[in-house]
Amino acid sequence: MRDDIINAVGLTKVFNGDVVAVDHISFSVREGEIFGFLGPNGAGKTTTINMLITVIKPTEGHATVCGYDIVKQAGEVRNRIGVVPQEYTADEDLTGYENIILCGDLYGIPREVSKKRAAELLELVELTKFKDKKVETYSGGMRRRLELACGLINRPRVLFLDEPTLGLDVQTRAAIWDYIRLLKEEFNMTLFMTTHYLEEADALCDRVAIIDNGKIVKMGPPDELKRDLGGDIITLEIQAGDVEVANLIEEIPSVKEVKKQDNTYRIKVEDGEKTAPMIIEAIRNKGYAVTRLSLTKPTLDEVYLEYTGKSMRDEQGGRMSVWSQRRTIRKARA
């Protein structure tokens, strides 16, 4: 228990009496790890983060951050955490430097201290050159870096990052990943992040929890989750299929499982490179034509598909979250 810096038990949030955003989730995060919440929009990631950072109160269940209760000792929690919200919350009318100092003031950090830290942090996120420019002139990557710096002004023990790379281009995203890794190494900071980019969770997180419809459906290190899937996946499309084809495929010894979706089969196999030709042959012999075949080594994508039964695409979120995401993406690409 002592190594768990975040501990949630039966955490639940119901909005307006009947919309269950987060449904009795329990998990713990160890000190010093990067823990990722992975799921589509509307799955309950942001709601969970908002409960942990004490912005909203849970309907049921409880959680501790740094050993303090998020409801009863919210002030203690707030002093020890840093938050990088999904949105660009820096005030556009102020300069980058003014924004960091403002954050320092909100934490009640004495000015001499926050000035020194601001200079260090601007250096860290490479914004020193632009510190006296208004934030409205910043690019998406610069804004995100500024948010990172703001979230670090109080030297938090846990940093919460909500969709840290939403809407950023691939290069900028990789740069942000580097900063995140740096934070972990340099400050031994615990990072709790949400993302709906599977490759992001894969690249950064020590452990991930897959969240769907407000519930955690699977939790563990990315590698372990992939290994648990057991082998490669062949996706096969044939012209006109019936049950017989599925049976046919299943007869091949190295095939573990066949799932059918319309004319597409998801086949879990061992040693995909050798099994694929065998499958094609078997189907051809019965007079069916294979129109498309792909072989994938397991990624979190497959893990996700496996446990939620659907591919990761955006789901309908609330009015507020749709707005905020659109706004974030717009600014990121400005």
Question: Under the rule (CB under 8 A), what is the footprint of other proteins?
Answer: 1-2, 15, 50, 53-57, 64, 66-68, 75-76, 78-81, 83, 85-89, 91, 93-94, 98, 102-103, 105-110, 113, 150, 154-155, 157, 160, 186-189, 319-320, 323-324, 327
Tell me how far apart the alpha carbons of residues 35 and 24 are, in angstroms, rounded to a whole number.
Answer: 19
Q: If we measure between CA atoms, which residue out of 303, 218, 211 comes closest to residue 22?
A: 211
Q: At what angle do helices 96-106 and 140-152 cross, to 10 degrees?
A: 30
Nearer residue to other proteins within complex by CB, 170 or 320: 320
Q: Phi and psi (nearest 5°) for 312?
A: -80, 95
Rounded to a whole number of angstroms, the minimum distance from the CB of residue 283 to other proteins is 52
Structure-block tokens of residue 282: 């078997």
* Shortest CB 35 distance to other proteins, Å: 18
Write down the least CB distance from residue 80 to other proteins, Å: 8
Amino acid letter at 310? K
Nearest to 154 by CA among 214, 108, 190: 108
Q: How far is CA 267 from the centre of its chain?
A: 27
Choose between 268 and 331: whose C-beta lies nearer to other proteins: 331
Of 2 and 129, which CB lies nearer to other proteins in the complex structure? 2
Min dist. Cβ of residue 76 to other proteins (A): 7
Q: How far is the CB of 319 from other proteins (least distance, A)?
A: 8
Residue closer to other proteins by CB (options 106, 174) is 106
Q: Which is nearer to other proteins, 109 or 198 (CB)?
A: 109
- In the complex, minimum distance from the CB of residue 56 to other proteins, in angstroms, rounded to a whole number: 5
Listed in sequence order, the DSSP H helices in the chain are: 45-52, 74-80, 96-106, 111-124, 140-152, 170-187, 198-204, 222-229, 243-250, 272-285, 300-308, 319-332
Residue 254 has, within 13 A of its CA and on its CB side, a CA count of 15
Residue 153 or 204 with smaller CB distance to other proteins: 153
